[in-house]
Structure formats: structure tokens, C-alpha cells
């Protein structure tokens, strides 16, 4: 089953303790689509400006991502400038230039109508609502967001959360949105909006999944080299949704397995700047790391003392 995604396709300028990159390919929809494309077909809805290079469009096409919904508008592409200290879990936004995103009004191409899986990647929540209202066949809808939108459009974000099945946000944002320091209490407040499953991303500490009746914890893959965490969240979401759309299994067991595939994909992405690692990644490498992940989290459950 194909996935429809709306989000940003961007230029990122980044600084980590290990190096700098200026105006490289980034954006929530870019990372998501690339990751999901390892599992299923992806229909992309996003906007870029006149300055967006053809080479990056070709890269998306090479991953078999449909770019029929990638609009090119007069003006400049969305540009995010961010910085990380030695704590790579928290990005510090230095500048956000919405550019063409400020006037973007998405129109879903007719061919996208059949997508039953919809991912509302990090973007203006009003655009997330707009896409949701056009995606008539979506039967599983998930969303992400970030501090920028929590501060500037909290009411629109609440409307999004009231309508999605799954929310995938990072721990700082869960705390900021709910004004709760404790993550279990924060999760309860978010689930109370009607979200079925909440996945809280905790950077190098992995993820926590809450669905009202069970909690699942997955570690992050222990890596010696974490170079650039940008896009880890979107890459996680791409692996997670890609796996769900591929199997159609949205049971608790299916969701847990999808979380591990998401974690595997994110673990590759952080090994290099921008999408450099994802460009070289092969599916056998994904399978191999998935197996390592299984042994990493396995224990026998011997009788308790």
C-alpha cells in the first residue's frame, strides 16, 4: 500500500561538534520519503522554490518516490539553520526561513487519492489539516510536529491531534505541548485528545510507545559514530510507516515490529550529514541491523527469583 506524505523539502545549514554543512538537502518529507521508500511506494506532497536543484529532484525519483505533488513555486526553498552541542538529542534552531512554504496551498494530484496511509510530517499544522481533509481514503493517519509549531500554532496542532491515529513526537515537544515534565503524564494528556498510539522519540535513548493499554520501550541502536542527528525523527517515522504500509499489520505486535524498523532506519541516518548515508544504504544492511536489534533487546524471561 502506498503512503502519502506532506512535509518540508528543505535546505539545511547545520553545525554539530563534528563538522558543518551549508544548505544541504533536508526537510521532514525528504527524510521520511527516503526512509519509507525502502518498504513501499511514496506519494510526496511538498513545495520547493526556484533555487531547488534538479539533482535533488532526481535523487527522490531514483528512490521511486512520486514527485507529482512536489510543487515548484517562485521564491526560495524552506531553509532551516540548526546547531547541536555534545548532547545530540536536542537541536537548537538558529533560523527558520519559511520562504515558499508561507504561501503553499497543497492540492493533491488525483493519482494520490488511493493512498490509505497518510503521514503528516513536521510542517505548518494548518497544512496538515488541509491535506487530511483532501486525503479521503486515508485509513491510518500519523503526524509529527516540532517546537516551532507548538509555540506558533498550538490550537491548529490540537485539531490535528484530535484527528490522527498515531502521533510521533520527541520528548521535549511532548513536554512543551502538555506543560508536563513527566512523560507518562504527558502521554496521558496527548492520548486524551483521541490519539490511539503515541510514540515519544528520545534521541539516543530510543522510543517509548503508549496506546492506553500497553507501553513498549525500544532502545536506540548503540553506535560508535553519531555524526548528525538531523532527520533521525523523520527517518524513524519513514521506516515505521513504511513497514506498516507494506504489511498492513497494525496490531500491537505489528506496531512494535514497525518501531524497530523505524529505529533501524534512524540509526543509519545519523551516521553522516544530510541524506548521505541513506543514499548508500541497501536493504540487506537494513535486514542485518534489524537482526542485531533483535538480539540487543532479547532476554529469556527466566522465572523470577
| 59 touches ligand AMP by CB under 6 A | no
Residue whose cell numbers read 490519539 = 195
- Quick one: 253 exposed, middle or buried, by C-beta within 10 A (0-12, 13-18, 19+)? exposed
Taking the complex as a whole, how short is the minimal distance between the CB of residue 162 and ligand AMP, in angstroms? 20
Between residue 137 and residue 196, which ones bind ligand AMP under the rule CB under 6 A? 146, 148
Q: How many CB atoms lie within 10 A of CB 204?
A: 16
Closer residue to ligand AMP, CB minimum distance, 116 or 276: 276
The binder of ligand AMP chosen from 34, 122, 263, 267 (CB under 6 A): 122
**SS3 sequence of 189-201:** HHHCCCCCEEEEE
Does 265 participate in binding ligand AMP (rule CB under 6 A)?
A: no
- What single-letter DSSP state applies at residue 77? P
Instruction: Give the interface size with ligand AMP as a residue count (CB under 6 A).
Output: 18
In DSSP terms, 24 is beta-bridged to 12
Under the binding rule (CB under 6 A), the answer on residue 104 touching ligand AMP is no
Stretch that binds ligand AMP, among 22-30, 50-58, 107-115, 295-303 (CB under 6 A): 22-30
Report the residue from 4, 5, 10, 226 that binds ligand AMP according to the rule CB under 6 A. Answer: 10
Instruction: Kindly state whether residue 96 participates in binding ligand AMP, applying the rule CB under 6 A.
Output: yes
Cβ atoms of 139 and 116 closer than 8 Å: yes
Instruction: Find the binder of ligand AMP among 4, 6, 26, 104 (CB under 6 A).
Output: 26
Least distance in Å: CB of 214 to ligand AMP? Answer: 26
Least separation, in Å, of the C-beta of 195 and ligand AMP? Answer: 19
Q: Does 203 bind ligand AMP (CB under 6 A)?
A: no
Which of 67, 123, 135, 286 contacts ligand AMP by CB under 6 A?
Answer: 123
206 contacts ligand AMP (rule: CB under 6 A): no
Site for ligand AMP in 213-232 (CB under 6 A): 230-232
Close Cβ partners of 18 (under 8 Å, ≥ 6 residues apart): 227, 228
User: What's the CA angle centered on 220, arms 264 and 60, to 5 degrees?
Assistant: 35
Q: How many residues does the chain have?
A: 305
User: Are 1 and 117 a contacting pair, CB within 8 Å?
Assistant: yes
Binding residue (CB under 6 A) for ligand AMP from 5, 27, 171, 209: 27
100-133: burial string, b at 16+ Cβ within 10 Å, e else: bbeebebebeeebeebbbbbbbbbbbebbbbbbe
* Interacting residues with ligand AMP (CB under 6 A): 8, 10, 12, 26-28, 31, 80, 96, 122-123, 146, 148, 230-234
Amino acid at each position: 500500500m502506498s503512503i502519502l506524505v506532506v512535509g518540508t523539502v528543505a535546505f539545511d545549514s547545520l553545525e554539530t561538534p563534528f563538522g558543518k554543512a551549508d544548505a544541504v538537502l533536508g526537510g521532514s518529507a525528504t527524510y521520511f520519503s527516503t526512509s519509507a521508500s525502502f518498504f513501499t511506494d511514496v506519494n510526496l506532497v511538498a513545495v520547493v522554490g526556484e533555487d531547488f536543484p534538479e539533482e535533488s529532484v532526481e535523487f527522490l525519483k531514483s528512490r521511486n518516490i512520486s514527485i507529482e505533488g512536489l510543487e515548484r513555486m517562485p521564491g526560495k526553498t524552506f531553509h532551516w539553520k540548526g546547531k547541536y552541542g555534545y548532547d545530540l538529542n536536542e537541536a537548537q534552531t538558529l533560523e527558520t526561513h519559511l520562504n515558499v512554504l508561507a504561501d503553499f496551498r497543497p492540492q493533491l494530484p488525483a493519482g494520490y487519492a488511493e493512498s490509505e496511509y497518510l503521514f503528516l510530517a513536521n510542517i505548518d499544522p494548518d497544512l496538515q489539516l488541509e491535506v487530511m481533509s483532501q486525503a479521503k481514503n486515508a485509513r491510518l493517519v500519523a503526524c509529527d510536529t516540532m517546537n516551532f509549531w507548538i509555540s506558533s500554532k498550538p490550537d491548529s496542532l490540537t485539531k490535528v491531534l484530535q484527528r490522527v491515529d498515531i502521533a510521533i513526537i520527541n520528548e521535549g515537544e511532548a513536554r512543551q505541548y502538555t506543560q508536563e515534565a513527566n512523560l507518562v503524564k504527558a502521554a496521558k494528556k496527548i492520548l486524551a485528545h483521541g490519539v490511539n498510539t503515541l510514540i515519544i522519540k528520545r534521541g539516543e535513548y530510543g522510543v517509548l510507545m503508549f496506546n492506553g493499554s500497553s507501553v513498549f520501550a525500544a532502545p536506540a541502536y548503540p553506535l560508535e559514530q553519531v555524526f548528525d542527528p538531523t532527520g533521525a525523527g523523520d527517518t524513524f517515522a519513514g521506516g515505521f510507516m513504511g513497514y506498516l504500509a507494506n504489511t498492513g499489520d497494525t496490531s500491537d505486535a505489528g506496531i512494535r515490529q514497525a518501531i524497530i524498523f523505524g529505529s533501524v532506519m534512524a540509526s543509519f541516518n545519523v551516521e553522516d550529514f544530510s541524506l548521505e548515508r541513506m543514499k548508500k544504504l541497501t536493504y540487506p544492511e537494513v535486514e542485518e541491523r534489524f537482526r542485531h536489534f533483535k538480539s540487543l533487546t532479547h532476554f529469556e524471561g527466566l522465572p523470577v527469583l
